[in-house]
Structure formats: structure tokens, C-alpha cells
Copies of this chain bind each other. A is one copy, B any other.
């Protein structure tokens, strides 16, 4: 069973190991598919014995949830820290970190997209659904504030293009995530005077 150690020192090591395993599972699932990957296969790909996995995760579906949490939580945290006063600038910053997050979590994204119907219908998936809705709402509001002509359509369009980035982005490609993000923002935002446009990190 998945028993988390109580001693702080061991607990830190345990949590780190668990995070690594979840990340590894995301990679394997993205490549082979969640349902197509058996637990023995997964365990072997992670360098573990069949049953050892269960020391860290209570089951296969929980593992999937953990992958989605590992994707959503840091994204929401980073978004919460945005503090640009100008809405257009905040939007651009948001899309930048969003695209960056997507390409840094390509595997998680691919798994997330494949398992759409479980996430939408599953009983244990409420928290993930809530996270996604929070992000959606936040994005749509920001698009309105930024003066986009049709915020609702822009919202759907952005969701589509940014998330889809996971499917074609290659780390050794010719564009940086930031360039891609700026390209996306330029599509939905009315032309902005360069003075307002942030310089990027």
C-alpha cells in the first residue's frame, strides 16, 4: 500500500521519488497510451518491480490523477503570481508562461488530452475538473479586459492552439516557446503599440 513515511527526512525523499515516478509515468503513457500500458510494463519502464509501484501510488487511475495534478497545480500557481497592471500585458505574460508550461509538460498534456472523457465523467476527477474550470474562467475574463473583440471565441481558439502546441512542438525546433506564445497573442489581440509590449525574460 502507499504509506507515506512520517519522519520528515524520509518523507522528503519519498515525495521526491514519487514525483519522479509520476513524471516518468506521464512520459510512458504519452508514448504508449494509458490503457495500452500495463502496470508490469510501466513498472519495468520505470525500473521497478511490479508491486513496488504500489508503495507510491494506490492504483492506476490514481496515477493518472496524479499526472493531471502535476500538470495543473504549478500552472495555476504561476498564473496566480501574475501582477502586470495592464490587461493586455498580463494576457501576454499569461500566454507566455502557459506555452512554456505546456512545452515543459508535453507528456502530461498528451495524457491529459487523451483521457478527456475520463476526466469529464469520472467520479474521482472533480478536483481536476475544478482546476480546469478555474483556468478557463480566468482566461476568458482576461481576454475581455484586454479588449479582445470576441472574448468567448478567442478563449476557445486560444485553448485550442496553445494546448495543441504539445502535439507539434519539438525542443530542437526553430522557435522558442516565447516566440510561439507571442505569435498566438498577436493573433487574438488587436495590434498593440510596441511600448506596452513587454520584453520577455
A interface vs B, CB < 8 Å?
A: 1, 30-36, 40, 110, 113-118, 121, 150, 153-154, 156-165, 167-168, 175, 180, 183-184, 187-188
Contacts and interface: CB of A to CB of B under 8 A. Distances in A.
Secondary structure of the A side of the interface?
Answer: helix
Contacts of A115: 33, 114
A180 B161 contact: no
A67 to B, nearest CB: 15
Contact of A116 (B35, B117, B121, B167): B167
B157 A187 contact: yes
A156 B160 CA distance: 10
B165 A118 contact: no
Contacts of A183: 150, 153, 157
Contact of A162 (B30, B33, B160): B160
A154 B187 CA distance: 9
12 contacts: A31-B117, A33-B115, A33-B117, A33-B118, A150-B183, A157-B157, A160-B162, A160-B163, A160-B164, A161-B164, A164-B164, A187-B187
